[in-house]
Amino acid sequence: MRELSTTEQQFVSGAAVTMETWATMDQVLSNVLDGMSTGMSLGGYWAAVADLLSAQFPN
């Protein structure tokens, strides 16, 4: 029986997901979380502006 290549060993052992894939996933997740926190801070900002405006102009 011949020696398995690294890729084949990873595949056989179920570790076909390489570190590169994990790094990419990690980067994507990080970007998503960054985007969410940015969106939330902007959302909070606009909510505060809306509160101020509604306080200025009671209907």
d(CA 24, CA 17) in angstroms, rounded, equals 11
Q: Could you tell me which of 27, 22, 28 has the C-alpha nearest to residue 10? A: 22
- Which DSSP category does 5 fall into? P
In a domain, 25, yes or no: yes
Domain count, the chain: 1
Range of the domain at 44: 17-56
Reported confidence tier of residue 31, pLDDT bands at 50, 70, 90: confident
pTM over 0.95: no
Token pair in block for residue 20: 């590169």
In this predicted structure, the answer to whether residue 30 has a pLDDT above a threshold of 70 is yes
Burial pattern 42-51, b for ≥16 Cβ within 10 A else e, equals eeeeeeeeee
In a domain, 1, yes or no: no
Q: Could you tell me which of 33, 32, 36 has the C-alpha nearest to residue 44? A: 36
